[in-house]
Amino acid sequence: MTSNLSQKTSNLTVIIPTKNSERFLPKCLESVKSCRQVIVVDSNSKDKTKSIVNTYGRVYVNFEWNKKYPKKRAWALDKLLIESDWILMLDSDECISDEFLREFDNRITKSDHNGFWIHYNNYFMNKLMRYGVSQKKLALIRKNHGTYEDFGENDWTEYDMEIHEHIIVDGTVGKMNTKLFHLQNESYEQMLDKHFEYAKWEAKRYASFSIKSSSTLREKIKYHLINKFFFSYVYFFFQYFVLLGFLDGFEGYKYAKIKFKYFKRVYELLRK
């Protein structure tokens, strides 16, 4: 999963948001060591995040949120000095490969698109999830051609970083053929705790949601159904049976169960 290219990719800047990310960050930084510019945007980490960034000789920037838009990723796109024509927004538990960089060099830089969707190779409990709902994000954009949508959440969120906000791209959008690696290797309990925290955000987001302002059809469908009792059950059935999540074995069941409990918790919070 790591990159061993001898020369730096000439036209790619990688932005990595972090907070106490010492567990995953070395693998992430190793995978992008051939990229021209790497900037880690941190949130007052108390662990070794900053020293790890310094070890790799990359740029460390600390972000202090003022409780207004923009949040961390949008702020980075607006305020940081970007040296290249393309920007990859990469989380600290994600890695790219040599194949990814070759596709970027050989195809993406010659494209007329201003943004690209990227699918994941998603790992959970140290196992690659081959089935279930496909995971993707719009994370590769041409400089000055996109930023994150504003949910107007200043009054109700505690997160200084975007949760489900999408990049709004000025121009057409394509899809990369090469997947990135998403190393969600926390335990079941750790993942469930994280999803329960996100459920609080999701419930508050629902209260302020506007169909007209939504940027994706998938989000529109979700928020049309998320307040229904049956939604968590339908999602589990779709994830585990229709999309063959059961073929991922015990880990596939636990992953589908987390999603079920997540949407069930959102429903419960909405009923209060």
What is the pLDDT, as a whole number, of residue 237?
98
Q: What's the whole-number mean pLDDT along residues 142-153?
A: 92
What is the pLDDT, as a whole number, of residue 244?
98
What is the pLDDT, as a whole number, of residue 216?
74
- What's the chain's average pLDDT? 92
What is the pLDDT, as a whole number, of residue 136?
94
The percent of residues in the chain predicted with pLDDT above 90, rounded, is 82
Q: What's the whole-number mean pLDDT along residues 236-259?
A: 98
pLDDT in tens, 188-241: 999 999 999 999 999 988 887 765 555 677 888 888 899 999 999 999 999 999
Q: What's the whole-number mean pLDDT along residues 89-110?
A: 96
What is the pLDDT, as a whole number, of residue 207?
80
What is the pLDDT, as a whole number, of residue 236?
98
What is the pLDDT, as a whole number, of residue 6?
42
3 — pLDDT class (breaks 50, 70, 90): very low
Q: What's the whole-number mean pLDDT along residues 235-251?
A: 98
Q: What's the whole-number mean pLDDT along residues 51-66?
A: 97
pLDDT in tens, 149-166: 988 877 778 899 998 899
CA dist 216 to 48, 157, 167, Å? 37, 21, 10
What is the pLDDT, as a whole number, of residue 215?
61
pLDDT in tens, 5-24: 445 666 899 999 999 999 99
Give yes or no for residue 4 having a pLDDT over 50: no
The percent of residues in the chain predicted with pLDDT above 70, rounded, is 94
